[in-house]
Amino acid sequence: MNAAAVPLAVPDRPVNGVALTIVIILFVLVAVLGFFAARWRREETTGLHSLDEWGLGGRSFGTWVTWFLLGGDLYTAYTFVAVPAAMWATGAVSGFFAVPYTIVLYPIVFLLMSRLWSVSHRHGFVTPADFVGGRYGSRALTLAVAVTGIVATMPYIALQLVGIKAVLTVLGLGSAENVLLTDLPLIIAFVVLAAYTYMSGLRAPALIAVVKDLLIYLAVIVAVIYLPIKFGGWGTIFDSAEAKLAAVNPATGKPVGVFIPGATSYSAYWTLALGSALALFMYPHSITGVLATKSRNTIRRNAAVLPLYSLLLGFLALLGYAAIYAGTKPVDLNGSVNPQLVVPQLFLDHFPAWFAGIALAAIAIGALVPAAIMSIAAANLFTRNIYRDLIKPDATPRQEAGVSKVASLVVKFGALIFVIAMDQSAAINMQLLGGIWILQTFPAIVAGLYTRWFHRWALFIGWAAGIAYGTIAAYNVVNPVTKAHFGGSIAAIPGTDVQVYIAVVAFAINLVIAAALSLLFRAIKLPDGQDITRTSDYGADENDPKVAQIQRKYPLAGPGTPTF
């Protein structure tokens, strides 16, 4: 049978030929760029045969590349699809909190990340768990941080696929009857992504991010200027959104959504923003972006210029309301309403096909950048903190890079199977839990940047308590309509009826236990781990010698100890 003759779409959703062609052309362009990236700023003597080169792009990215890389890494395709979707479906509390979230993020990044950069630069740390291992000398705590990072990242990668899927569905690729055909374009896209990530490492997403970000800025700026003019101004758009969100949902007897939060939603709104901001730079893929920078101050400079992306995200969120006014119908292949199709559908409905193609390509390519970085970050965690620490302590840099490359493939195909085989809501639930879990590594990583006051076992038990509480609390949130568990990330503080983000309560429990047990463990003189870092390490810059160099200069100081 001739494969080309098989119709890729059922008649209910026609293929948009022009838009699809643009998407395919841009995708091919980006793939070529991804393979070319292997030769970009290449270290000629060693090639890509070390984690510093393959997994951190040679630790050489300056302000501009970092701006594009972190912009593509933090503001993922899923964000661009899910935030307007949440605005469209339930309004401000679940959607617009992304704006204060990405505002308060940057002062926090400014405060924390240059210290992490300095100590990692000195000691050659590649992952946050490397740092925790070096600081606390605790295998258990290192492993806890590494495993949390990997487990939280996996569903995040899967959600990037959900973003691509939304674009493909709107383009008319896919059918309700034939699952394999529906997923074929997704599989092809992912195999290509896996291939150039394997070849080029972090250089691939760094180069692709430039193209992707320019496309997405173009798409959103045009949409934000053109659509309000077409629809008769922002006033009418907001009025129609207010009317829709105030309507009463017959299943719950409550309004569908929140247009402007009332006093009962204040705590949910700000804890969601703060908790998410604290958690974001605990994700391994964010830290990978930070450690790939050239100097201590690159990340600080970026903290001042990255907010431009927050502005983009804010306007994109408002497009969710524009879709309410426009009456956009996000109907999925099986006929159900899928809010995640709202923004792709909006572009397709109201723009010429070629421009819609550019916007949809920007979203689809936007999924490839974070997916690549996340898989690299998870692979680095596996290589450094499981393979090297537990299996092969004397692994050479070349072996580490080899293991990491293969691990990045495994991680990506795991995410692919996740999305194809399981229900989409499973990935969303896991991502929700991932956000709660990753915040529980905050005390170990961040407190360690400033002080050794916390005891390693206190931090470990605090982490475990935070994870346990967060998981149970999230399980107990029941969706009022579908009666399914993991119905949201908001729950009352135990013993009160103040609604807050679960991760923040779990974090507070974690911190209190870690502090109390630190006092206890110090009082009973439980052995503390070895700390290989020095005060001076936390202020080191690119021109300061690395620890390996200092040891060469002062050989009498004794043999160096690796992470443990």
Partner 1 sequence: MSSPDVPTRGPARPGPYVISGILLLAAIVVPLFVPAYSIDKPRLYGIPYFYWYQMAWIPVTAALVGISYWLVTREDRRRRESVRGEAGAGEEQ
Smallest separation, CB 481 to partner 1 (Å):
26
The 3-state DSSP class for residue 477 equals coil
Under the binding rule (CB under 8 A), the answer on residue 551 touching partner 1 is yes
Residue with tokens 């309000």: 228
Residues in Cβ contact with 90 at an 8 Å cutoff, skipping those fewer than 6 apart: 245, 256, 257, 258
Instruction: Select from 72, 100, 124, 289 the one that contacts partner 1 (CB under 8 A).
Output: 100
Q: Which is nearer to partner 1, 93 or 459 (CB)?
A: 93
Under the binding rule (CB under 8 A), the answer on residue 314 touching partner 1 is yes
Site string for partner 1, 521-540 (x = CB under 8 A): -----------x-xxxx-xx
Q: Which is nearer to partner 1, 467 or 504 (CB)?
A: 504
Smallest separation, CB 350 to partner 1 (Å):
19
Residues in Cβ contact with 522 at an 8 Å cutoff, skipping those fewer than 6 apart: 455
Cα–Cα separations (whole angstroms), residue 562 to 73, 135, 284, 389, 395? 30, 12, 21, 10, 12
Task: Please report, as residue ranges, which positions from 462 to 501 form the binding site for partner 1 (by CB under 8 A).
Answer: none
Smallest separation, CB 246 to partner 1 (Å):
12
Smallest separation, CB 498 to partner 1 (Å):
13
Q: Residues in contact with partner 1, total (CB under 8 A)?
A: 60
Under the binding rule (CB under 8 A), the answer on residue 559 touching partner 1 is yes
Smallest separation, CB 470 to partner 1 (Å):
21
Instruction: Select from 262, 327, 494, 495 the one that contacts partner 1 (CB under 8 A).
Output: 262
Q: Which two tokens stand for residue 283?
A: 């994700």
Instruction: Select from 255, 307, 397, 402 the one that contacts partner 1 (CB under 8 A).
Output: 307
Under the binding rule (CB under 8 A), the answer on residue 96 touching partner 1 is yes
DSSP codes, 374-419: HHHHHHHHHIIIIIIIII-TT--HHHHHHHHHHHHHHHHHHHHHHH
Smallest separation, CB 53 to partner 1 (Å):
25
Q: Which two tokens stand for residue 182?
A: 């529906």
Of 135-143, 192-200, 443-451, 550-558, which part binds partner 1 (CB under 8 A)?
550-558
**Closest by CA position to 209, among listed 61, 338, 388:** 61
Under the binding rule (CB under 8 A), the answer on residue 439 touching partner 1 is no
Query: Alpha-carbon distance 240 to 237, whole Å?
Result: 5
Under the binding rule (CB under 8 A), the answer on residue 263 touching partner 1 is yes
The 3-state DSSP class for residue 97 equals coil
Query: Alpha-carbon distance 219 to 29, whole Å?
Result: 18
Task: Please report, as residue ranges, which positions from 193 to 252 form the binding site for partner 1 (by CB under 8 A).
Answer: 228, 233-238
Residues in Cβ contact with 173 at an 8 Å cutoff, skipping those fewer than 6 apart: 8, 9, 15, 20, 182, 185
Smallest separation, CB 304 to partner 1 (Å):
4
Residues in Cβ contact with 480 at an 8 Å cutoff, skipping those fewer than 6 apart: 251, 252, 487
Task: Compute the chain's Rg from CA coordinates.
Answer: 24
Query: Alpha-carbon distance 56 to 331, whole Å?
Result: 41
Binding-site ranges for partner 1 (CB under 8 A): 92, 96, 99-100, 102-104, 106-108, 110-111, 228, 233-238, 260-263, 266, 269-270, 273-274, 297, 300-301, 303-305, 307-308, 310-311, 314-315, 318, 532, 534-537, 539-541, 544-545, 547, 550-551, 554, 557-561
